[in-house]
Amino acid sequence: MGGHGRSQSVAVGVNGGSPVGGGRIGGFQFPPPMATSDAGAGSTTGNQGQGHNRTGSRNYDGNWRNQNQNQNQSHGHQQNQSVDLQNLNQNPGMGQLNSSFQPGHRSRASIGAFQFPAQPGLMLPGHGGQSIFINPATGQPQILSAGLLQQQQQLTQLQLQQAAINAQSLNLGNLGQASGQNMPNQQQQRKTLFTPYLPQASLPALLSNGQLVSGILRVNKKNRSDAYVSTQDGLLDADIFICGSKDRNRALEGDLVAVELLDVDEVWGQKREKEEKKKRKDISETRGPSGPSNNNAGGDGNSTNEGGQEGTGIKRRGSLRQRPTQKKNDDVEVEGQSLLLVEEEEVNDEQKPLFAGHIVAVIERVAGQMFSGTLGLLRPSSQATKEKQEAERQAREGHSGRPNQPERTQDKPKIVWFKPTDKRVPLIAIPTEQAPRDFVENHQSYANRIFVACIKRWPITSLHPFGTLFEQLGEMGDIKVETDALLRDNNFGPDDFSEAVIRNVIDNWSVETEKDEVIAARKDFRDVKTFSINAKSTGDISQSFHVNKASDTTWEIGVHIADVAHFVKPNSLVDREARKRGTGVELVNRLVPMLPQKLAEDLLSLKEGQDRFTTTVVFTVNADTDEIVEEETWVGKGIIRNSANFLYGDVDAIVSGAEGEGEKVPDEFKVAVAVLHKMTRNSRKLRYSAENMDIPALRLVYQLDDENIPVEDNIFETRPAYEIVEELFIRTNSFVAQKIAAGLPEKALLRRHSPPNQRRVENFAERMNRYDQNIDVSSSAALQTSLFRLKDPVVQQGMETVLIKGMQRAKYFVASKLPSEMHGHYLYNVPAYTHFTSPIRRYADIIVHRQLEAVLSNGAVDFTEDTEALAKAAEQCNVKKDSAKNAIEQSIHIELCRAVDRRRQSQDGELICEAIVINVYESAFDVLIPEYGFEKRVHCDQLPLKKAEFDKANRVLELYWEKGVQSNVYIPEDERPKGGAALRAANAAAAASQAAAAAKAAQEQEEIQRKMMEVSSRNPDAEQGLFDDEDDSNHSDGGVATERPTTLAPVAASTRPTQSMPGSPTKNSPTSSQTPHRTRSDPKISVAAHDNEKADGQEVSNEDKYLQMFTLREEKGDYIQEVRELTRVPVFLKTELSKSPPCLTIRSLNPYAL
């Protein structure tokens, strides 16, 4: 039932599958020239109007869509092009992209108006297996070699088919509504909305000579109109910008696509023109038919329309850019439903893309794609229009019923609409018969149900794809349903295994059932005290360790990994199922296995007291320097009997010397843990050449490799036990990588991490160095050492969050597919790396185990899988690995939303947390919430601001606040209800909120006065100390304090000055007529809210807690806050558990409403 299965496996490479032309590391073979399958649309060659083939008389060097413009090309140019094609046929390896790629930029011109010619070209017989083709557009002959002749004949036939298509637009919206207007002429032919895909057989030549490039498509989550194609292995030094749905040409997120480059300036200019038109439309719609409103609470009071009245349309207030309402809603969902923000490079006047293009073919699509979402009777746009009209009618008439107007009876629609949760995926048309039986009559009752669907086909005549309803998961908000939905969105099917797969697992296995020669070939570690370290109690333990004193100067450290390859044979049912799944997924509240439980827990798991087969690496470590003696490292097959299984808490207690959990650990294991802790800590220092400093864990950065992501409530959390296991695994994986690379130089499955985007990482360093952070990006070791030096862990986490935006994720690859200089792992700073240590949950590890077995056997065991099949398996593992990481992050986000909501409810619905600013823009700023480990964006058009001003040179955003308006109850002007009853209700709600806030403030004031009355019982010295800062609170030199209440709570004496308040005036200090006082905003002296807790343990007000975190000033009656990067700000947190997935949004506190 999975959609988008690939009918052909294709490769974009020549000369043995090298990665020439991009592709998924050359892991596929193109079909022979006779193949006519259409991988991109799900249609067949018999479907004349929906074929994805393209005319063969195309001139790639000119504007091939507007053939009249090509008539002026010279005969000599045509001959040269024909000779090039002939040479290409004779020498398919020429023009390799990696060595001499010269991208051609052609004009976009009349893409939308393209039609195939009505007449075919004329074929004339030639000599030597060649033929002459008469191009009907130019009248000029072209020589076609024998290899291209057959393709040309096929394309000529398609020209005749395509010529029959007439211009008739398709309106799928009408399909979802009443069919009473269905007429016999409904079957008339429809207009072509997308260009057909090029034949798969024509792509290798076009890719190899540089006329096309290939890469992975990435769609902007916030704006599906913008997409990017990342070419493989740095073929181009920047992503290719794909502008609009027509240029994206039905391709989806993650597709491997073929792209033709376009003229960047033209694409960019047309995009700007469309955006300006949309802005004008938004302004018109926002102002509405009833004329402008006089309510200007959210504006600056200076915006006027053509009639001279105040306008309420979309306007700029300083640098503050107000977004359309729909854009706001989309941003809230995209940003609020993920742990970290996904940043796309915006196309603007200052930074337009280096490359632009359009997609001419989908080479490969992720198999079995599924999407969670909701089902609707009408298209959302049609539903929104209907609801808007009904709301306007209610506002006019004051009631909701129409008793005298019976509803029109409508025929049952032919399709219903599936709206995917992932905004990168378009609406999908679903046949009505696949919906629940009563859906049409009771569709409102299904509004909060989550369904799963897949795309089956996308004709060139349809704005939307057609799909199949896969399953109904259940109601939104249910944790199991939400978890199922996130798994489907990441292409993980049901957890259960088929009976056939389970029966394929061996029964009643034990070491005693194995043959004597099998046992004799393994090293016996059963007398060695081995122990496992795990995050939680689990049934599938894949690793164990031992520590022995080898000599007075060395330790022996063993890493034992479950020998999965012994039980999972190549191409068995279990192997095929594991390859398809790619990886197991450990979510916060659930484990999705890769292998059947019977195999993973009963045969493979290194359970305490049971004999198990392992593949073991034994290191010899210098006891003084903790360096590994490489030449003495042993690797081979083993047998162990695990002595103990420890949880992270046990190991943490041993390392810290704390009482409690560590007490139950025997002394011999305490010694072993202490040795491992010392060795791994120093080993990490050696890897980064940072021997003279302590190295904190860069938890977020390390997840770029996804080495056993710790499933914690906070993605930044770390602990000693995890760091011990991680470093041992890095050393083990690196050693195995070097071993298989030497033994199988052509086929070794390795894992590489590319250096970051140089432009982005240099921009990161430039920004951070403005704040004296001394970031060096010259190498991996230099960059990470710069982060290690940071003293403030919150600043370090903020920098990590910014840094990973410019870094790629690690990828599996086959050694022969890339030159050796590209094999390194940038993040771990090692020359070679692979995954070997988690074979129960990663299929790539099983492959590596088989390769290691072949290398260690000295030829007795052959590794027979061919290079191309390995490359395909590597890419499948890459896709599944990334999907698993996304699923884990989404699972953490769901649990965080629930935890935040519980805490918010316990605090009367108001939750304030400290955040660190990590990015500042002209109308927004990004913050990281260290307490919970998520990143969010504060949009200034959601705050009670008069305006904002952005100082780009100094990266300072100045917020001009409305005094006394709390941001958590503020409703932006364009979101306020229109109409009498709704407006009165909104005003009443706002008044109630303000009344509650006033009552709370009064209560706090009473508490302050009560505490002040207690001062009389203190001695004079204590009283004087209590009021030391009183003068500072009442001066009138233009600082913020001039507008603060005169009954401010007395501030206890502090050992450091309050950074947001100006110092006491002196006789030489500036007067109010001089330059306004600017308080310090140096991030190095930013303070946390908890530093302001009162010494006597009394609860402090929000003003006492948070005021000193702000940098404030008053100027000409304006109340201004400065927002700078790496400074702290308090924010309100708000959750919406009714959405699927749950949504978490934030707003910055108004310092002038505390």
pLDDT over 90 (residue 317): no
Cis preceding-peptide flag for 1141 (omega within 30 of 0): yes
- Tell me which H or E stretch contains 882: helix 867-906
**Is residue 936 one of the residues assigned to a domain?**
no
Handedness of CA 537, 539, 541, 547 (dihedral sign): positive
Asked if residue 523 and residue 472 are part of one domain, the reply reads no
In whole angstroms, what is the distance from residue 705 CA to residue 830 CA? 13
Least confidently predicted of 106-110, 180-184, 856-860, 951-955: 180-184
- pLDDT (0 to 100) of residue 280: 72
pLDDT band at 39 (very low <50, low <70, confident <90, very high): very low
pLDDT over 80 (residue 562): yes
- pLDDT (0 to 100) of residue 233: 63
Q: How far is CA 1005 from CA 815, 1034, 1096, in A?
A: 70, 18, 18
Which region, left, alpha or beta, applies to residue 95 given φ > 0 means left and ψ of -120 to 50 means alpha? left
- pLDDT (0 to 100) of residue 834: 97
**What is the DSSP secondary structure assignment for residue 642, as one 8-state letter?**
B
In 3D space, the residue among 49, 839, 9 whose CA is nearest the CA of residue 459 turns out to be 49
**What is the DSSP secondary structure assignment for residue 710, as one 8-state letter?**
-
- pLDDT (0 to 100) of residue 484: 95
- pLDDT (0 to 100) of residue 345: 56
Residue 433 sits in a domain whose CATH number is 2.40.50.700
Q: What is the DSSP string of 554-577?
A: EEEEEEEEE-GGGTS-TTSHHHHH
Q: 241 φ, ψ to 5°?
A: -80, 130
pLDDT over 80 (residue 250): yes
Could you report the per-residue pLDDT of 924-934, keeping only the tens digit for each? 999 999 999 89
The mean pLDDT value of the chain amounts to 75
b or e along 436-473 (b: 16 or more beta carbons within 10 Å of the residue's beta carbon)? beebeeebeebeebbbbbbbbbbbbbbbbbbbbbbeeb
* Tokens standing for residue 722: 């995890």
Q: How many CA atoms lie within 13 A of 607 on its CB side?
A: 12
pLDDT band at 366 (very low <50, low <70, confident <90, very high): confident
- pLDDT (0 to 100) of residue 1105: 85
**Is residue 341 one of the residues assigned to a domain?**
no
pLDDT over 70 (residue 107): no
Least confidently predicted of 104-108, 460-464, 824-828: 104-108
**Is residue 988 one of the residues assigned to a domain?**
yes
- Contacts of 1023 by beta carbon, 8 Å cutoff, 6+ apart: 1015
pLDDT over 80 (residue 547): yes
Asked if residue 891 and residue 1032 are part of one domain, the reply reads no
Mean pLDDT, residues 782-806: 90
pLDDT over 60 (residue 418): yes
Residue 1052 is part of which domain span? 959-1064+1071-1153
Asked if residue 518 and residue 380 are part of one domain, the reply reads no
- Tell me which H or E stretch contains 217: strand 213-219
- pLDDT (0 to 100) of residue 329: 77
- pLDDT (0 to 100) of residue 746: 95
In whole angstroms, what is the distance from residue 1125 CA to residue 916 CA? 8
Q: How far is CA 1146 from CA 432, 968, 975, 1139, 1149, in A?
A: 40, 9, 17, 16, 10
- pLDDT (0 to 100) of residue 912: 92
pLDDT over 70 (residue 980): no
pLDDT band at 285 (very low <50, low <70, confident <90, very high): low
In whole angstroms, what is the distance from residue 585 CA to residue 533 CA? 19
- Looking at per-residue pLDDT, the higher value among 155 and 226 belongs to 226
Amino acid identity at 826? Y
- pLDDT (0 to 100) of residue 538: 81
Residues 490, 884: contact at Cβ < 8 Å?
Answer: yes
Asked if residue 503 and residue 476 are part of one domain, the reply reads no
Which of 460, 489, 518 is the C-terminal boundary of a domain? 489
Mean pLDDT, residues 987-997: 61
Amino acid identity at 378? L
- Tell me which H or E stretch contains 349: none
pLDDT over 50 (residue 1025): no
- pLDDT (0 to 100) of residue 173: 40
Mean pLDDT, residues 354-382: 89
pLDDT band at 1089 (very low <50, low <70, confident <90, very high): very low
Asked if residue 980 and residue 873 are part of one domain, the reply reads no
- pLDDT (0 to 100) of residue 1138: 85
Could you report the per-residue pLDDT of 1104-1143, keeping only the tens digit for each? 888 889 999 999 899 999 999 999 999 999 998 888 889 9
Q: How far is CA 458 from CA 3, 42, 54, 193, 258, in A?
A: 11, 7, 16, 11, 18
Could you report the per-residue pLDDT of 835-866, keeping only the tens digit for each? 999 999 999 999 999 999 999 998 889 999 99
- The tally of domains found in the chain comes to 3
Opening angle at CA 66, ends 62 and 70, nearest 5 = 50
pLDDT band at 335 (very low <50, low <70, confident <90, very high): confident
Could you report the per-residue pLDDT of 200-231, keeping only the tens digit for each? 999 999 998 889 999 999 998 888 889 999 88
- pLDDT (0 to 100) of residue 11: 35
Specify the residue for token string 């034990």: 510
Which of 467, 489, 511 is the C-terminal boundary of a domain? 489
Per residue, the 3-state secondary structure of 245-312, as one string, reads HHHHCCCCCCCEEEEEEECHHHHHHHHHHHHHHHHHHHHHHHHCCCCCCCCCCCCCCCCECCCCCECC
Asked if residue 556 and residue 454 are part of one domain, the reply reads no
In 3D space, the residue among 578, 491, 487 whose CA is nearest the CA of residue 5 turns out to be 491
Asked if residue 624 and residue 578 are part of one domain, the reply reads yes
Asked if residue 733 and residue 659 are part of one domain, the reply reads yes
Asked if residue 1129 and residue 1107 are part of one domain, the reply reads yes
Specify the residue for token string 């057609």: 466
pLDDT over 90 (residue 660): no
**Is residue 445 one of the residues assigned to a domain?**
yes
- pLDDT (0 to 100) of residue 833: 96
Least confidently predicted of 263-272, 483-492, 591-600: 263-272
Asked if residue 505 and residue 475 are part of one domain, the reply reads no
Between the CA atoms of 1002, 1008, 1012 and 1014, what dihedral angle is there, to the nearest 10 degrees? 100
b or e along 1033-1062 (b: 16 or more beta carbons within 10 Å of the residue's beta carbon)? bebebbbbbeebeeebbbbeeeeeebbbbb
In whole angstroms, what is the distance from residue 928 CA to residue 404 CA? 56
Q: How far is CA 498 from CA 418, 491, 504, 595, in A?
A: 29, 18, 10, 11
Could you report the per-residue pLDDT of 673-730, keeping only the tens digit for each? 999 999 999 999 999 988 887 788 787 887 777 645 556 677 888 889 999 999 999 9
- Looking at per-residue pLDDT, the higher value among 896 and 709 belongs to 896
- pLDDT (0 to 100) of residue 617: 98
- pLDDT (0 to 100) of residue 395: 60
- pLDDT (0 to 100) of residue 971: 87
In whole angstroms, what is the distance from residue 912 CA to residue 903 CA? 10
In whole angstroms, what is the distance from residue 343 CA to residue 929 CA? 18
**Is residue 765 one of the residues assigned to a domain?**
no
**Is residue 1114 one of the residues assigned to a domain?**
yes
**Is residue 857 one of the residues assigned to a domain?**
yes
In 3D space, the residue among 470, 221, 445, 166 whose CA is nearest the CA of residue 331 turns out to be 221
Asked if residue 664 and residue 547 are part of one domain, the reply reads yes
Residues 997, 966: contact at Cβ < 8 Å?
Answer: yes
Mean pLDDT, residues 1050-1076: 36
pLDDT over 90 (residue 279): no
In whole angstroms, what is the distance from residue 442 CA to residue 903 CA? 37
Mean pLDDT, residues 601-629: 94
* Tokens standing for residue 742: 């030497």
- pLDDT (0 to 100) of residue 2: 43
Highest mean pLDDT among 264-273, 559-568, 641-650, 851-860: 559-568
pLDDT over 80 (residue 51): no
Bridge-based pairing state of the strands 644-647 and 428-431: unpaired
Mean pLDDT, residues 493-499: 90
Asked if residue 733 and residue 835 are part of one domain, the reply reads yes
**Is residue 770 one of the residues assigned to a domain?**
no
Strands (E), 377-497: 415-420, 428-431, 449-457, 466-475
- Looking at per-residue pLDDT, the higher value among 367 and 786 belongs to 786
In 3D space, the residue among 818, 737, 715 whose CA is nearest the CA of residue 235 turns out to be 818
pLDDT over 60 (residue 448): yes
pLDDT band at 15 (very low <50, low <70, confident <90, very high): very low
Which of 878, 896, 914 is the C-terminal boundary of a domain? 896
Mean pLDDT, residues 758-776: 88
Mean pLDDT, residues 1004-1016: 52
